[in-house]
Amino acid sequence: MPPYRLHYFPESGNSYKLALMLTLCGQEFELVWTDFGGGVTRTAKWREAVNEMGEIPVLEDGGHRLTQTAPILLRLAERFGKFGGTDEAERFEVLRWLFWDNHKLTGYMATYRFQRAFTPSPDPQVLAFLRKRLDDFLGILEAHLRDREFMVGNQATIADLSMIGYLLFPKEESGYDFARTHPAVSKWLARVAALPGWRAPYDLLPGKRLRRFI
Ligand SMILES: N[C@@H](CCC(=O)N[C@@H](CS)C(=O)NCC(=O)O)C(=O)O
């Protein structure tokens, strides 16, 4: 039995971050599909049994249930000696971008994409607000990547693996076509997708999908 079990749903970019990290580190894991669309993560029973924070993903690691992708990625990077940054300065940068990603990039992109693609009648004002914030964050990302191959240092780190979490899903879902609007982001995504062993989100996270409304 693989030592890891990942509670996930296919559209979850946060789950993709962990599935990709484990895959790139050569680790096997068992997938535990979760009925997010059916509201199971909102139930008191699930929160008590699986995650008090009411969120996917959850990674079972040797029987311990871990949540929050950033500390999990940090732990895996240390365990496998991969993607953690090469010195103290890089590790500080990795942390800095992980915080920014959770608060800004992933935080808003996950919400915007879910509202836009997987919600029957999203409020146009809410969508417009989220899109305006995201345009700003993606501009920051584009500027950072203009003269860099990866977010930190010269090679991929967990900062990259976290930040690409929602950006490699089909463009129809987010409505962003980075090749057209954000060339540096687009090239960086291609660099991550060229890492040995890389797999696309819906390849790594199979199973019953949410209904898409666009
Ligand atoms: N910061 C968390 C974010 C997890 C998260 O927001 N997961 C989404 C699904 S991908 C969720 O369960 N959302 C439920 C909610 O916001 O109520 C992490 O990195 O694990």
Global confidence as pTM: 0.98
Closest atom of ligand 1 to CA, residue 42: 17
Please list, in sequence order, all residues whose beta carbon lies within 8 angstroms of the beta carbon of residue 100, skipping any fewer than 6 positions away: none
Per DSSP bridges, beta strands 4-8 and 58-61 are antiparallel
Hey, whose CA ends up nearest to atom 2 of ligand 1?
Answer: 68
Q: What is the mean pLDDT of the chain?
A: 98
Specify the pLDDT at position 2.
Answer: 81
167-176 pLDDT, tens digit per residue, is: 999 999 999 9
Hey, whose CA ends up nearest to atom 18 of ligand 1?
Answer: 68
Cα 20 from Cα 165, distance rounded (Å):
9
- Ligand 1 centroid to Cα of residue 35, in Å, is 14
12-52 pLDDT, tens digit per residue, is: 999 999 999 999 999 999 999 999 999 999 999 999 999 99
Describe the crossing of helices 183-193 and 124-145 by its angle, rounded to 10 degrees: 80
Specify the pLDDT at position 201.
Answer: 98
Cα 58 from Cα 37, distance rounded (Å):
16
Specify the pLDDT at position 142.
Answer: 98
The hierarchical CATH code for the domain 88-193 is: 1.20.1050.10
Q: Which CATH homologous superfamily contains domain 4-82+199-204?
A: Glutaredoxin (3.40.30.10)
- Ligand 1 centroid to Cα of residue 107, in Å, is 8
pLDDT above 80: residue 1? no
Cα 175 from Cα 127, distance rounded (Å):
11
The domain spans of the chain are: 4-82+199-204, 88-193
- Before 3, cis peptide (omega within 30)? no
List the structure tokens of 182. 């954000």
Per DSSP bridges, beta strands 29-33 and 4-8 are parallel
- Ligand 1 centroid to Cα of residue 147, in Å, is 31
Query: Looking at residues 66-90, what average pLDDT do you find?
Result: 98
Determine the straight-line distance between the first and last CA of the chain, rounded to whole angstroms.
Answer: 39
Sequence-ordered alpha helix ranges (H) in 124-177:
124-145, 158-163, 171-174
List the structure tokens of 181. 């609007």
Specify the pLDDT at position 87.
Answer: 98
- Ligand 1 centroid to Cα of residue 53, in Å, is 9
Closest atom of ligand 1 to CA, residue 56: 12
Q: Annotate 51-75 with DSSP letters as a single string.
A: -TT--S-EEEETTEEEE-HHHHHHH
Ligand 1: residue of 9, 55, 163 to mutate (most ligand atoms within 8 A of CB) is 55
